[in-house]
Structure 1
Amino acid sequence: MTITYSCIANGRAVLAELALTGGSYQEAVAEVLRLVLLSAEPKTVIQVGSYIYHTLSIDGITYLCATDNALDTVTPPEFLEQVSDIFARNPSMPPEHFSPSNAVAADFQQVLAKYMMKYNTTQDDGTISVTRSQETDVKKVMAQNIDTILEREAALNVFLDRTDDLQTTAKEFQKTRNTPRKIWWKYFKRIAIITTAILLSVIIILLSPNVIPT
C-alpha cells in the first residue's frame, strides 16, 4: 500500500494538499469531502475509482489521504492522526491563514511530504506483520473449528453407539420377557387340549348304552 495523495480541508475548501504521483485527484477529493460532510462521521473510508480515500474529521477540519489499495487499514489512520496532531499543536497554522498558494500552505505541504514518505517507507514491514498476524489468527480459528467439529462428531458417534446398545438391550430384554409367556401359553394349550379330550372321552363312555341305561 502507498499513500499517493493527502490534504487538509476546512469543509469542502482544500487548505493544503500534496500528490506524490501524477494524476488528478481534485474531482474525487471534492466528492469525498461532500460525502464526509453529509455523513458527519469522524472517520470514513471511501473508494473512488482505483483509490481508497481515508478521512479524519476533527473540529471542522478534515484530514484526508488516498491509497492505491485497501489491504492496509492500519497505516492510513495512523498517518492522519499524526498529521492532525501536528496541525493542532502548531499555533502558526490556523485554517484562516491557509490558501493553496500562500507560504503557510507550502510549509504544510512539506509536513505532508515528510510523513507520507515516512509511512510509505515504514508501513511495508508493519503491513506484512499485521497480515501474518491475521493469517495466524485465522489459522488458529480454523484449527479450533476443526477440533470442535471432530469433537462433536466423536460425541455424536458415542451417542449413536450407546443408542444402538440400548435398543439392542431393550430388544433382548423384550425377547427374554416374552419367552416365559410363550412357554406358559404353549403348555396351557396342551393342557386345555388334553383336558378337553379327556372330558369328551368320559362323556362318550357315560353315554354308551352299556354304561348308562337309557
Structure 2
Amino acid sequence: MQFQIFVYHTLSVDGITYLCASDNALDTITPAAFLKNVSESLLRNPLMSQEHFSPSNAAAADFQQVLGKYMMKYNKSQDDSSISTLRSQVTDVKNVMTQNIDKILESEERLNIFTARTDNLQITAEESQKTRTIWRRMWWKHIKKILIIPVAVLLSVIIILLSTNVIPT
C-alpha cells in the first residue's frame, strides 16, 4: 500500500485562514499564488462586505465555481511548474558544477605554480651545491699554492745554502 504525501500551505487574511494541500513538496510558489488569488476573489465578493458573514447556499455555490476555476488553472500550471522547477534545479546543478570546475582549474593552476616553484628551488639547490663544490676546489688549489710556493722556496734556499757550505753538513 502506497501513501500519497501532501504538503499543506496556509494563508491568513483578515482573520480568515485559507488552506490548500499540494503533492509537490518542492513547489511553494504555486500554492501561495493559488491561496492569494482565492483570498482576493473571496474578499471581492459583495457578501464579504457585510459585517457578519454567513455564507448562503447561493454564495457557496458561486464560490465553488470560482474555487474550481482556480484549481483547474493551478493544477494545469503545476505541470508547467514541475517542468520549470526541474529546469531550475538543472540550472542550479549546472551552476554548481561550473563553480566546482572553476575551483578545480584554479586549484590546478596553483598546483602548477607550486610545482614550478619546487622545481626552481631544486635547481637552485643543485646549483648551490655545484657552486660550493667549485668554491671548495678553488680554495684547496689556493691553499696548495700558498703551501707549495713557500715550501719550494724554503727547500731551494736550504739546497743553495747546503751547496755553498753555508750550512755545514
| TM-score scaled by length of structure 2 | 0.72
Partner amino acid, structure 2, of 1:71: L
**The 10-residue stretch of structure 1 (183-192 or 82-91) with the greater mean CA deviation from structure 2:** 183-192
Q: How does 1:189-208 map to 2 (within 5 A)?
A: 189-195=143-149, 197-198=151-152, 201=155
Inter-partner Cα distance in structure 2 for 1:199 and 1:96: 134
Q: Could you tell me the percent identity over the aligned residues? A: 42
Q: Equivalent residue for 1:148?
A: 102
The alignment's C-alpha RMSD in Å is: 3.3
Q: Structure 1 residue aligned with 2:54, among 88, 98, 115?
A: 98
Q: Kindly name which structure, 1 or 2, has the bigger radius of gyration based on alpha carbons.
A: 2
Measured against aligned partners, the alpha-carbon deviations of 1:70-98 in whole angstroms (never above 9, x if no partner) come to 13222211111110111122222247213
Partner amino acid, structure 2, of 1:149: K
**The 10-residue stretch of structure 1 (198-207 or 50-59) with the greater mean CA deviation from structure 2:** 198-207
Inter-partner Cα distance in structure 1 for 2:76 and 2:9: 19
Query: Contact 1:56 / 1:80 at 8 angstroms: preserved in 2?
Result: yes
Higher strand content, 1 or 2: 1
Instruction: Give, in angstroms, the shift of residue 144 of structure 1.
Output: 1.2
Instruction: Give, in angstroms, the shift of residue 63 of structure 1.
Output: 1.6
Inter-partner Cα distance in structure 2 for 1:50 and 1:165: 61
Q: Equivalent residue for 1:157?
A: 111
Inter-partner Cα distance in structure 1 for 2:76 and 2:138: 96
| TM-score scaled by length of structure 1 | 0.59
- Unaligned segments of structure 2, at least 5 residues: none
Q: Structure 2 residue aligned with 1:117, among 66, 72, 90?
A: 72
Inter-partner Cα distance in structure 1 for 2:126 and 2:23: 74
